[in-house]
Structure 1
Amino acid sequence: MLEKCLRILQAFRSGDRHLRLVDLAERTGMPKSTVHRLAGVLIDQRLLTQDQDGYQLGLALFELSSLVPVEHQLRLAALPFLQDLFMATHETVHLGVREGLDVVYVEKIHGHSDLGLPSRVGGRLPLNCTGIGKALLAFSNDEVRTDFLARPLRRITEKSIVDPARLLRELAEVRATGLAFEREEATPGRECVAAPVLVQGEVVAAMSISVPASAYRMPHLAAAVKTSALGLSRYLRNAQELRHGGPRSARRESDYRTAPRIVSMRST
């Protein structure tokens, strides 16, 4: 029963607000009578709601998501850096982590030109199709990269990289520069630049800025996102040392005020 209920919840995709009973039955492969019965259970638990337009995800899912450790801890630590980055650029900024073969977006601040982006908080996209995904993959261990490249690479747009050799070359460049670029590989007409968030040499997340391809500002944006990612890396590293009673615990250098911040990176 639990597995079937999960299939109903997972039937909702990015952009879905309402799904009819027939839609849920089609996407889950279950009879309408079964979906209707289980949907009633989910409604009782506030995991689904229902109105004249159909079913939609319930508030209890949002409440539960806020308790997930990566959401609660990483997001809270990253928000000041993301807000600085947004204020400096007025473009869409993201924070994401790797889960399996995908990027899962932990936070997103919508910019002035956010139309058409497929990303959403809690949503996921293939690692090879996003700047954040490339940053995460480039700084993961060899075993993760080898496993990912051994599988068929998924395509979202015509410009998505699906050639393993080409992606491997790009990942080597990401490791060398500390920057990952995505050029209309997830959304036509959109580009992004991303940087990894590293703690003790381990990649824990990555952040990015997304802009219209027609408004090329990558040199400015690359410097901005790298500065923010380094600031968050330093904050998390110092916080980790404090928890373990490291050498900086007395100085409390993990205070956000000591971390590097962006004052103004907007292009003129």
Structure 2
Amino acid sequence: MTDRPPPKSVLARGAALLRACGDAGAPLALAELALRTGLPKPTVHRLLGELVRLGLVERTGEGTYRIGLGLFVLGVSAPSVCELRDAALPYLGDLHEATHENVHLAVPDGTDTLFLEKVTGRRATPIVSRTGGRLPAHCTATGKVFLALDPGPRDPRPPRGALPRLTPRTLVLPGQLARDLALTRARGYGVNLEEAEIGVSAVAAPVYAHGRDSRPVGAISVTGGTRRLDVERLGARVCAAARALTRALST
């Protein structure tokens, strides 16, 4: 159940339902949507009916609900998303061809990292991430890039509040995470060592729109089996791809 108070306006309630459907990654029943949003079941039922009629939500044959095609069309039409994704795709493809692993393009979203694109294949390590999905920033390579390279305080600081522990290796102590973020800043790329998923590690590098005098607009990462990744060598490769994409965005 959500820790936040339920939204009050009709627009905010509809948005909460859409976010719950999108974050789940799988169809949800009405009762589960009510639990996740904190809204009464009759309210959820009424709003879902409107969202289905608008094409923003689809009702499955099992009586569950998922994001509709109409919302997908609206999402991919966002100029900032289209420009970054279209510019990044050739570099993501090159990284996948070179590594045969999962390659992501991510952007910061509050205390999360949001995956705009994922390039994978039959030889890649199966992982939980998906296009449009999100994970807590503190336990992902892309998220560490965003936390460490924010141009605010010179010393990188983790987000406030209790940090969720996804695996036994997730860094949740503030001092421990701060040291890792300082290392991320020093070497220029972030590393996740089984902190979001056991047996899976990742390396990520920042992407800028106007050179290195601003916060990253995104990050590129390669994610795969821990035993298969040479972090140091992969860091150089991912950084090179991120720099090439930065140059493309700056022209």
State the TM-score, normalizing by the size of structure 2. 0.86
Determine helix, strand or coil for the equivalent of 2:114.
Answer: strand
Relative to structure 1, is the Cα distance of residues 127 and 145 closer, same or farther in structure 2, using a 3 angstrom cutoff? Answer: farther
List runs of 5+ in structure 1 lacking aligned partners: 240-268
What root-mean-square deviation, in Å, do the aligned CA atoms of Structure 1 and Structure 2 show? 2.0
- What is residue 230 of structure 2 aligned with on the other side? 217
State the TM-score, normalizing by the size of structure 1. 0.81
Counterpart residue type for residue 223 of structure 1: A
Q: 1:14 touches 1:118 (CA, 8 Å); kept in 2?
A: no
Query: How far apart are the structure 1 equivalents of 2:172 and 2:30?
Result: 36
Q: 1:14 touches 1:120 (CA, 8 Å); kept in 2?
A: no
- What is residue 233 of structure 1 aligned with on the other side? 246
- What is residue 23 of structure 1 aligned with on the other side? 32
Report the identity percentage.
39
Deviation at 1:150, TM superposition (A): 3.8
- Residues 175-229 of structure 1, C-alpha deviation per residue, up to 9 Å, x if partnerless? 2211211000011110011111133212221111001112233233222211101
List runs of 5+ in structure 2 lacking aligned partners: 1-9
Work out whether 1:171 is the aligned partner of 2:181: yes
Alignment of 1:1-268 (within 5 A): 1-12=10-21, 14=23, 16-53=25-62, 54-111=64-121, 112-115=123-126, 117-143=127-153, 148-198=158-208, 199-201=210-212, 202=214, 203-237=216-250, 239=251
Determine helix, strand or coil for the equivalent of 1:12.
Answer: helix
Number of residue-to-residue matches in the alignment: 237
Q: 1:137 touches 1:145 (CA, 8 Å); kept in 2?
A: no
Counterpart residue type for residue 100 of structure 1: G
Query: How far apart are the structure 1 equivalents of 2:37 and 2:189?
Result: 39
Query: How far apart are the structure 2 equivalents of 1:166 and 1:99?
Result: 23
**Structure 1 stretch displaced more, 213-222 or 168-177:** 213-222
Deviation at 1:14, TM superposition (A): 4.7
Counterpart residue type for residue 200 of structure 1: G
Determine helix, strand or coil for the equivalent of 1:155.
Answer: coil
Query: How far apart are the structure 2 equivalents of 1:33 and 1:152?
Result: 33
**Structure 1 stretch displaced more, 119-128 or 10-19:** 10-19
Higher-Rg structure is 1
